[in-house]
Amino acid sequence: MLRALGAVPLVLGIRDEDSEADAWRLEGIESRLVDRSGPAALAFAPDLNEALGGAELDLLHLHGIWQYPSHVAGDWADGTGKPLVISPHGMLDPWITGRNAWKKHLARWVWERQAWRSATAFHALTEAEAQDIGEETGGARVAVIPNPAPPFGSPDDLPRMASVLYIGRIHEKKNIAALVEGWVAAKPQLPEDATLTIAGWGDDTGVAALEQAMRKHREAGIEFVGTAFGSQKAALLDLARFVVLPSLSEGLPMAILEAWSAGVPSIMTRHCHLPEGFEAGAAIECGTDAGSIRDALVNALSVSEGDWQRRSAAARQLAAGPFSPGEVAGKWERLYSALLEG
């Protein structure tokens, strides 16, 4: 988006084991990677400061917090007097800050608060995140700009089977254990052909726990298909009647925006921070406990074909409207221009 606006993006980062495999994501965009030293969680890179100083930037945009790059970004802003934008990407959500809280207290004291003071503006993905940022920083300037919905092929109008899709990380904050429990409880009230497909990635422990839970319910119509990207993801969305995300914590979930772009309505919690979906009829609300997830699944898979088509159309309208790449790019252009001029 930045390149299309006439900007020259430069990506500075820390090399890791996936850097080469992920290089295609930055095709045609200059990237400069430096080596990490010490624990991965700290992301300490002694050459990052020099790499940043030699980049001759007009504006620096820091993605993510709680690691060493925050310190480098704050020093750069103080030393150059140029604008610094910080995107926490959901990392100030109370569910996140409450985990390993002592480490985050230490990071606040060592570098985060200095970097936050040096920032010209913060970027929030949602109004809920803007509130979290305000409470943590004591009233920093915050611009709310969502992620854009990626383009998917035009959905067909053929009736879909009673297929529900979860796609994303296999992680405890995604609340997949409660989803499996809720699905098993709902199964007697669902259409006979109802299926739950789980696609995603995670650490070995999380995946093993999911597979163990599924082994207990072999007859429940649950399938774990592993990771899905590109055409595989598009194929799963083409089959899904609903995408489900019963998360305990989210920034702004791309899985929902991808689903809406493909015309697939969602079942999700308020913690997904997309109230627009409930208001437009593109989403059905569930809670985080297995009982409320069960009720939402039964409700979703009992809607008429006409009702589902209206929900599908509402999802597409959100993806093509407030979450469209053009709309989002315009917001970034206005924010960056204001910071560079002011």
Mean pLDDT across the chain: 91
Residue 32 lies in a domain: yes
Residue 4 lies in a domain: no
Task: Give how many domains the chain has, as a whole number.
Answer: 2
Residues 243 and 328 in one domain: no
Confidence class for position 229, pLDDT limits 50, 70, 90: confident
Query: Smallest Cα–Cα separation from 93: which of 139, 45, 136, 140?
Result: 136
Residues 121 and 177 in one domain: no
Residues 185 and 316 in one domain: yes
Confidence class for position 334, pLDDT limits 50, 70, 90: very high
Residue 73 lies in a domain: yes
Q: To 5 degrees, how large is the angle CA 165–CA 95–CA 69?
A: 100
DSSP string, 13-76: EE--TTHHHHGGGGTTSEEEEE---S-TTTT--TTHHHHHHTT--S-EEEE--SSHHHHHHHHH
CA-to-CA separations, 111 to 69, 229, 320, 338, in angstroms, rounded: 9, 36, 40, 27
Give the model confidence (pLDDT) of 17-29 as tens digits. 888 888 888 888 9
Give the model confidence (pLDDT) of 255-264 as tens digits. 999 999 999 9
Say if CB 67 and CB 112 are below 8 A apart.
Answer: no
Residues 183 and 238 in one domain: yes
**Rounded Cα gap, residues 193 and 188, in angstroms:** 11
Please report the pLDDT score of residue 60 as a whole number: 97
3-class secondary-structure state, position 200 = strand
Residue 224 lies in a domain: yes
Residues 135 and 276 in one domain: no
Residue 112 lies in a domain: yes
Lowest mean pLDDT among 85-94, 155-164, 320-329: 155-164
This prediction's pTM: 0.86
Residues 207 and 306 in one domain: yes
Q: Six-digit token pair at 103?
A: 């480490």
CATH number, domain containing residue 204: 3.40.50.2000
Residues 304 and 236 in one domain: yes
Residue 209 lies in a domain: yes
In terms of residues, how long is the chain?
342
Please report the pLDDT score of residue 27 as a whole number: 87
**Rounded Cα gap, residues 40 and 203, in angstroms:** 15
Q: What are phi and psi of 135, to 5 degrees?
A: -70, -35
Residue 155 lies in a domain: no
Residues 27 and 56 in one domain: yes
Residues 88 and 136 in one domain: yes
Q: Sign (positive/negative) of CA torsion 328, 334, 335, 340? A: positive
Q: Can you tell me which residue has the tokens 């079942």?
A: 267
**Rounded Cα gap, residues 15 and 43, in angstroms:** 10
Residue 106 lies in a domain: yes
Q: What is the mean pLDDT of residues 128-149?
A: 92
Residues 328 and 293 in one domain: no
3-class secondary-structure state, position 287 = coil
Which residue range forms the structural domain that includes residue 206? 163-320
Residues 194 and 312 in one domain: yes
Residues 126 and 185 in one domain: no
Give the model confidence (pLDDT) of 233-255 as tens digits. 999 999 999 999 999 989 899 99
